[in-house]
Chains A and B, each alone.
Chain A
Amino acid sequence: MSAYKDQDPRLHGIKTKIRVVPDFPKSGIMFQDITTLLLDPKAFKDTIDLFVERYKGKNISVVAGIEARGFIFGPPIALAIGAKFVPLRKPKKLPGKVISQEYILEYGRDCLEMHVGAVEPGERALVVDDLIATGGTLCAAMDLLERVGAEVVECACVIELPELKGRERLNGKPLYVLVEYIEI
């Protein structure tokens, strides 16, 4: 599901604030830069509000944010809906006992970690990141939460790159995004 299709008037302001940087981190990639969105207090607030309006009152007890840009959007959402914030991190960053989930990259593998005890069985969780591309990282995040018995209610991102079909990698879990980027 995409908010953009429903044409909430705030979405235009959000979309125009996202800067596309060509050939980063390598040739051929059109990088979606959300830092320019963060420079517009109204557009940033609207972004958070759109998620909060969707998730408030849905008994979400955990917002899991993926390092590092998920740390920017996740906590304001968590605070507004009264949920815990759980950072999902690259290896060796979290100081306590962790569980890890490996996932495949274009070349090679990476790993996402979560603190043991951060999430309890039966908790209802949201996974937040700035963008979904291939869906590999979100998938690893969902695996981590489900392995400890949480229910992933939805994945939420500011931006989707639909051509990369990340939505299909989410094992049927719903995905909610504010804007889509399609290369013309």
Chain B
Amino acid sequence: MRVVCCSNSSLAVTATLPSFPCLGPRFLPRIAIPISIPSSAIRFLPLRSTASPRQITTMASKNAQDQQDSRLESISSAIRVIPDFPKPGIMFQDITTLLLDTKAFKDTIDLFVERYRDKNISVVAGIEARGFIFGPPIALAIGAKFVPMRKPNKLPGEVISEEYSLEYGTDKMEMHVGAVQPGDRALIIDDLIATGGTLGAAIKLLERVGVHVVECACVIELPELKGRDRLGDKPLFVLVKGMA
């Protein structure tokens, strides 16, 4: 099952998301039944929120919630899950199908922009390569710089690097010296958080040069992999949760 989850944008940036599939604790989940699909392209329907009959909500807030709900639903259903990629047992969350749905892609960006536009963010750091797809549109809309965080030996100028662990071995992430300044307020963007190793490295890189990391933002979280715990005290915001 996939849970559709998004913090209410009127709340302040929170450290953790509520455990309900949410648009606020007033809504109770109703489980949607996955439709039968070819094994090469498994898709899951999102969990739907629906108001309990005993709750009283204003029409205005319910309409706003419904709009939010329907945007998240179409985003969730636009993501394709591919089993056994890159190796057996892994359910790969493919966002390229989301990019083919012009409305859902726009909604994805809008949901992030709505959250961050009034938070004085001066830097959006995007992690190579799928963070390059979501980061720049957000940066452009909120008037922030975009800083690519790259694999080794791709950035041409002087860099600082941070090593991080993989399942087997280590990898390295690099950022240009001088791209960010002490006191900059940063968002880190990637398409997905799994174990949190990559995001953790990005946080360290930015903090080493005196940047304040305000939040990490991803389209998808795989909660079973507990990546959220690897982010130190940094909050994480995601649109959709998936099965690992």
List B136-189 residues whose CB lies under 8 Å from chain A. 136-137, 139-140, 143-148, 150, 153-157, 176, 179
Given the interface pairs A38-B148, A41-B143, A76-B137, the reply to whether A31 lies near B156 with Cβ below 8 Å is: yes
Any A CB within 8 A of the CB of B105: yes
Q: Give CA–CA (A93, B140) in the complex, Å.
A: 27
Q: Give CA–CA (A38, B180) in the complex, Å.
A: 12
A79 touches B137 (CB 8 A): yes
Q: Give CA–CA (A41, B140) in the complex, Å.
A: 7
**Known A31-B156, A38-B147, A96-B82; further 19 A-B contacts with Cβ < 8 A:** A25-B153, A25-B156, A38-B136, A38-B139, A38-B148, A41-B139, A67-B129, A68-B150, A71-B129, A72-B146, A75-B134, A75-B137, A79-B109, A79-B137, A82-B102, A87-B96, A87-B129, A95-B82, A118-B96
Least CB distance from A178 to B in Å reads 16
Least CB distance from A90 to B in Å reads 9
Any B CB within 8 A of the CB of A19: yes
A75 touches B133 (CB 8 A): yes
- Residues on B lying within 8 angstroms of A by beta carbon are 40-41, 80, 82, 85-86, 92, 94, 96, 99-102, 105-106, 109, 128-130, 132-134, 136-137, 139-140, 143-148, 150, 153-157, 176, 179
**CB closest residue in chain A, given B110:** A79
B109 touches A94 (CB 8 A): no
**Among A31, A83, A85, A96, which residue has its beta carbon within 8 angstroms of that of B80?**
A96
**CB closest residue in chain B, given A90:** B129
Given the interface pairs A76-B140, A87-B96, the reply to whether A38 lies near B102 with Cβ below 8 Å is: no
B136 touches A92 (CB 8 A): no
Least CB distance from B185 to A in Å reads 14
Least CB distance from A53 to B in Å reads 15
B145 touches A39 (CB 8 A): yes
Set of chain B residues within 8 Å of A143, measured between Cβ atoms: none
A68 touches B129 (CB 8 A): yes
B157 touches A21 (CB 8 A): yes
- Residue among A40, A69, A94, A96 with most chain B CB within 10 A: A96
Least CB distance from A112 to B in Å reads 14
Set of chain A residues within 8 Å of B133, measured between Cβ atoms: 71, 75, 85, 87
Q: Is the interface of B mostly helix, strand, loop or mixed?
A: mixed
**Among A35, A76, A79, A84, which residue has its beta carbon within 8 angstroms of that of B148?**
A35
Least CB distance from A56 to B in Å reads 14
Q: Give CA–CA (A82, B176) in the complex, Å.
A: 32
Set of chain A residues within 8 Å of B100, measured between Cβ atoms: 84-86, 118
Any B CB within 8 A of the CB of A44: yes
Least CB distance from A173 to B in Å reads 23
